[in-house]
Amino acid sequence: MASNDTDRVRAELEQPYDVVTRMFENLTVCGALNMLIRIGAMHKLPSDGTSIKAADLATAVNIDVTAIHRAMRVILVQGIATETGPDEYTHNQLSLALLPEAAGSFFLLCMDLSKTMGTLPEYFKTHAPEDLYDLTKSPFAFSVGKEGRSYYDVLNDDVDQRNIWNAALQLAEKNMPVRGMFPFESLKEQVEREPERAFVVDIGGGRGQSLLAIQKDCPGGFGGKLILQDLPIVIESLKPEEIPNIEATVHDLFTPQPVKNAHVYFFRRLLHDFYNPVCVEILKQTVSAMGPDSRLIVCDMLVPSRVTVGVPMQLYWLDLSLMLISGKEKTIEEFHEIFDAAGLELVKVYPSNVGETVMLETRLKRTE
């Protein structure tokens, strides 16, 4: 809250030149840190209480020492790493947290997307408006010279990049709420009465983080199955001990849902990866499997009708990033249209205490 207040005051006081320099300062910090991570310099900094001289660091990564001086100064002024003496450095808590095996994975993903943002002017000059909605003509595919393939097809070309993406998404997931919206625990009596029906089917559920969180309020799934569905590359990487009480199965969300009449079908942070017509196609595959009292719950962010100056930026930078890979955060009106086209109706919106994240409870459309 204090940070939001500070942003609002700054917006009132800053002059245009101040705004531009602040934006460029952020770009410079990102550029310096990206360079130092990718050339291996950040991994050469000691974390055992000793330090390394700039000249030795430059030799270790085979670049000119002045490049080390200049890049390190930029991150040091932001509190990333510690200068123990003139041109001599060591890790601190923040720099360790920004290594690729920690929050640095998310940072590197953001940097990759920022490269694509730099190509947006040329993309829009050379493409028809409708190309933006073509999965094989995304700005990302254009930026890397691989149009004709989707973002995820391109991503799978590079194992290292895919691993960075997986680590980044797992980190992001930890900062997105699951609990405190739809009351899964309220279905206890219903699930115990019909345990032969799956309790929750988590479509595209990654490494089971949502089902693990749901179990905190619903121990053992109240005797009903908790089913995790995702692609082979995800499911085959899971160990049983990582997903207790969860049945992991391979499923392509563009094919008919094999689990019939579950109590809940769950789509968390998935539909925002696609434009509206594709979302309708995806949902129809599950709608066909729903029973009369099945619930289909979507967890995503809602774009408000107007922008408020100084509010947290997460929703907006995420939405622009999704545009690069053929995705979109949506308004409540858009969700109404998607649900209606898929044969669903919205029952209730459950907000969270974190940003714009909500859960949308839907059911099969009732006929009058």
SS3 assignment, position 16: helix
Rounded to a whole number of angstroms, the distance between the first and last alpha carbons of the chain is 46
CATH fold of 2-97 reads Arc Repressor Mutant, subunit A (1.10.10)
49-60 exposure pattern, b = at least 16 Cβ within 10 A, e = fewer: eebbbbeebbee
Q: Which amino acid is it at 23? A: M
Q: How confident is the model at residue 36 (pLDDT cuts 50, 70, 90)?
A: very high
Which pLDDT tens digit goes with each residue over 107-161?
999 999 999 999 999 999 999 999 999 989 999 999 999 999 998 888 878 777 7
Instruction: Spot the catalytic one: 91, 251, 263, 272.
Output: 272
Q: Are the C-beta atoms of residues 208 and 170 closer than 8 Å to each other?
A: no
pLDDT for residue 175? 72
Which pLDDT tens digit goes with each residue over 327-356?
999 999 999 999 999 999 999 999 998 788
Percentage of the chain modeled with pLDDT above 70: 98
Angle between helices 332-342 and 276-287 (to 10 degrees): 40
Q: Which amino acid is it at 152? A: Y
Active site residue 43: no
Report the pLDDT averaged over residues 154-172.
79
Q: Which amino acid is it at 41? A: A
CA gap 135, 121 in Å, rounded? 19
Superfamily of domain 179-364: Vaccinia Virus protein VP39 (3.40.50.150)
pLDDT for residue 353? 86
Q: How confident is the model at residue 33 (pLDDT cuts 50, 70, 90)?
A: very high
pLDDT for residue 364? 98
- Is residue 368 over pLDDT 70? no
CA gap 280, 284 in Å, rounded? 6
Can 2-97 and 179-364 be said to share one CATH topology?
no
Q: Where are the domains of the chain?
A: 2-97, 104-173, 179-364
pLDDT for residue 4? 63
Report the pLDDT averaged over residues 223-244.
92
